[in-house]
Chains A and B, each alone.
Chain A
Amino acid sequence: MSVLVFAETSEGIYKKIAFEATSYGAKVAEMLQTNLVALSINATDANQLSTYGASKILNVKNEKLNSFNAKAFADVVCQAAKSEAADVVIIDSSSNGLYLAPLVAYNLNAGLASNVVSIPVTTAPFVLKRKAFSNKAFCFTTLTTSVRVIGLAKNAYGIFENKVVATIADFTPTLSDADFGISSKEVIKTSGKVSIADADIVVSAGRGLKGPENWGMIEDLAQVLGAATACSKPVADLDWRDHAEHVGQTGKQVAANLYIAIGISGAIQHLAGINSSKVKVVINTDPEAPFFKAADYGIVGDAFEVVPKLVEKLKVFKQNNA
């Protein structure tokens, strides 16, 4: 018996969510009175995971796995789970994690709970609290299988240091051609900016901005905060901003620490995408805008006056708190 966490890397470096998933795994292992084993693929510094409670780290080194391939990665995770007799497997909710989790669960004959927001409610039966109805509710799901896969929602648990002494073992999976039925031709990065998925802070703007030429101040605000930029759906549909920035029920999910909405009315479909963000700020001329009901802090005011001022004041604040 053990708990296995898949700790995701990007070009050899652990993603932040790998530390969150490991912290979470350590807690689940403690609940089950067992050990946490972490699996990583081509990590340069595998021992980093011991800081977050992994007592054994399996490090796969294989050039064929330099770029993500869902089927091959799933196969590696399954082989590791079997060799460690894992009865719980934890996978993050990055785009790769979401791709991987059902493949892993199926091949392990395991039940899968995705979008899980907290540690298991009980372990016998194995009950998980997960997000449902586009963040408008939670549901409690029991996994009835002997092996269970948990898809941990983004920014749901946090990162906790819990230094242990870890053994690092090489792990050599058996891969076959069948694992590589899909090949990657090209990765297109949205140029040099913070991605919505990785951002702690997201600055988002809506139709209240009147036109794409007014996004300079939004970019400025994002820059001083080290934030990603996002937008409402009509803004993307009008081609004012790229579709990759569209947030909401039919767009991206934002689980940031801080979400700042500027000139966005707060339609239910928009809120569905941002409800899991921790703190929400709204700036809107209309005190009746529904967003004020969903926000923690608000300014009733004109974005064209408030935002430039906010940028200037934040610059000063950042300098004083650097």
Chain B
Amino acid sequence: MKLLVCISHVPDTTSKINFTEGDTKFDTNGVQYVINPHDEYCLTRAIWFKEKQGATISVVTVGTQIVEPTLRKALAIGADDAIRVDAEPTDAFYVAKQIAEVVKQGAFDVVLAGRESIDYNGGMVPGFLAASLGYNFVNACIAIEIEGQNVTATREIDGGSEILTTVLPLVIGGQKGLVEEKDLRIPNMRGIMMARQKPLKVVLPIDIKPNSTTVSFEKPPVKSACKLVSPDNIDELINLLHTEAKVI
């Protein structure tokens, strides 16, 4: 089984979000980058398949050189090798087409991507990828088992979950649940040392036109101050919610 885990390089969850150049560029000043949290779940699940079922794991990121520390981290966590498609990740369509090419070249039969990147929150790459490759696709995947060609996967639905069966080849949009949070792998010293020796291949992008452009950004309006109500005056809260906020 050849697994490919798609790694999105995103600002850490605590990052302050600011923009520069007249709100047209994301301000990377002081921002720490991490592996997209959903992708971490995918990667740890992939390592489980490697340890229990002898799969091999490659990781891929579409990005310029600045993403390499993130890919090295994925190698330190346990991927066997890494591929960087040397291009700006212009939009989800562009990224998905680049990854689809990597999948074809490497004949991967399972592609694990995250449900969404926490920066642009697109939630599109996994679906585009599956459609482009003609692979089966499970989104919001919270559990997966693979036996030979047969797959049992669970997806989160509104108000519950749904168990699905399908066959390889497969793309998932994965998230928390694929493994328990306490089981998430973090790099240890040995992993970090080994990661330096592992191959990180840089490939050229294929020629694809993106189908969207992000023009500018806007921060949410500054919130007005919180209205405090005394704990001895709960009627006041109910009144405000009823007559002012009109939500009850």
Which residues of A line the B interface, CB within 8 A?
70-71, 94-96, 98-99, 101-103, 105-107, 109-115, 127, 129-145, 151, 181-190, 193, 195-198, 200-201, 225, 237, 243-244, 246, 249-251, 257-258, 268-269, 272, 275, 278-279, 281-282, 292-302, 305-306, 309-310, 313-314, 317, 321
On whether the beta carbons of A313 and B93 are closer than 8 Å, the reply is: no
Are A140 and B163 in contact, CB atoms less than 8 angstroms apart?
no
Chain B contacts with A in 144-181, Cβ cutoff 8 A: 152, 155-167, 176-177, 181
Min distance, Cβ B19 to any Cβ of chain A, angstroms? 7
Q: How far is the CB of A182 from chain B (nearest CB, A)?
A: 4
Contact B159 A197 (CB under 8 A): yes
Query: Are A237 and B181 closer than 8 Å at their CB atoms?
Result: yes
Contact partner, A98, options B123, B182, B219, Cβ 8 Å: B123
Contact, CB under 8 Å: A132 / B217:
yes
Interface presence of B241 (CB below 8 A): yes
Q: Are B231 and A306 in contact (CB under 8 A)?
A: yes
Most chain A CB atoms below 10 A, which of B131, B227, B248: B248
Distance of A281 Cα from B229 Cα, bound (Å): 10
7 additional contacts, CB 8 Å, given A136-B220, A200-B247, A293-B223?
A70-B137, A144-B210, A185-B163, A187-B162, A249-B37, A292-B228, A296-B227
Task: Give the complex CA separation of A98 and B124 in angstroms.
Answer: 9
Q: How far is the CB of A250 from chain B (nearest CB, A)?
A: 5
A281 and B139 within 8 A (CB): no
Contact of B157 among A95, A225, A296 (CB under 8 A): A95
Asked whether B119 lies within 8 Å of A133 as measured between CB atoms, the reply is yes
> Complex Cα distance A187/B38, Å?
23
Are B165 and A183 neighbours in the complex by a CB distance under 8 Å? Answer: yes
**Contact call A310/B166, Cβ cutoff below 8 A:** no
A8 to B11 CA separation, bound complex (whole angstroms): 34
Chief secondary structure at chain A's binding surface: mixed
B248 to chain A, nearest CB (A): 7
Q: How far is the CA of A281 from the CA of B242 in the complex (A)?
A: 13
From the candidates B165, B166, B211, name the one contacting A111 in the complex (CB within 8 A): B211
- Please indicate the chain B residues that have their CB under 8 angstroms from the CB of A182 in the complex: 136-138, 164-166
Can you list 28 pairs linking A and B with CB atoms under 8 Å apart?
A99-B139, A103-B127, A127-B215, A131-B121, A132-B121, A136-B17, A141-B212, A141-B213, A141-B214, A181-B136, A182-B136, A182-B164, A183-B166, A185-B165, A187-B161, A188-B160, A196-B159, A237-B181, A250-B176, A258-B241, A279-B245, A281-B237, A292-B226, A294-B223, A297-B227, A300-B228, A301-B231, A314-B248
Q: Are A186 and B163 in contact (CB under 8 A)?
A: yes
Q: Which residues of B contact A101 (CB under 8 A)?
A: 124, 127
Pair B119/A111 contact, Cβ less than 8 Å: no
Q: Are B164 and A185 in contact (CB under 8 A)?
A: yes
- Whole-angstrom CA separation of A96 from B159 in the bound complex: 12
Given A103-B130, A132-B121, does the pair A298, B229 have CB atoms closer than 8 Å?
yes
Q: Which 8 A-B pairs have the closest CB atoms?
A: A102-B127, A195-B159, A301-B231, A197-B158, A106-B131, A111-B211, A258-B247, A99-B139
Question: In the complex the two chains form, is A250's CB within 8 Å of B122's CB?
Answer: no
Q: How far is the CA of A190 from the CA of B90 in the complex (A)?
A: 39
Given contacts A140-B217, A249-B37, are A195 and B158 in contact (CB under 8 A)? yes
Q: Mostly helix, strand, loop or mixed at chain B's interface?
A: mixed
Q: Looking across the interface, which residue of chain A has its beta carbon closest to that of B231?
A: A301
**Which residue of the partner chain A has the closest CB to B38?**
A250
Decide: A268 near B217, CB < 8 A? Known: A70-B139, A142-B212, A181-B167: no
B240 within 8 A of partner (CB): yes
In the assembled complex, how far is the CB of residue A68 from the closest CB belonging to chain B, in whole angstroms?
8
Which of chain B's residues have a CB closer than 8 A to the CB of A106? 93, 127-128, 131-132
Q: Are A141 and B215 in contact, with the CB atoms below 8 A?
A: yes
Assembly CA distance A208 to B28 (angstroms): 35
Q: How far is the CA of A105 from the CA of B92 in the complex (A)?
A: 12
Tell which of A107, A137, A243, A297 touches B131, judged by Cβ atoms closer than 8 Å.
A107
Q: Does B118 contact A (CB under 8 A)?
A: yes
CA distance A219 to B116 in the complex (A): 31
By a CB distance below 8 angstroms, the chain B residues around A141 are: 212-215
Q: Which residue of B lies closest to A300 (CB)?
A: B228
Instruction: Decide: A249 near B13, CB < 8 A? Known: A198-B159, A295-B226.
Output: yes
B132, A313: Cβ atoms closer than 8 Å: no
CA gap between A197 and B158 in the complex, in Å: 6
Chain A residue at minimal CB-CB distance from B139:
A99
B238 adjacent to chain A (CB < 8 Å): yes
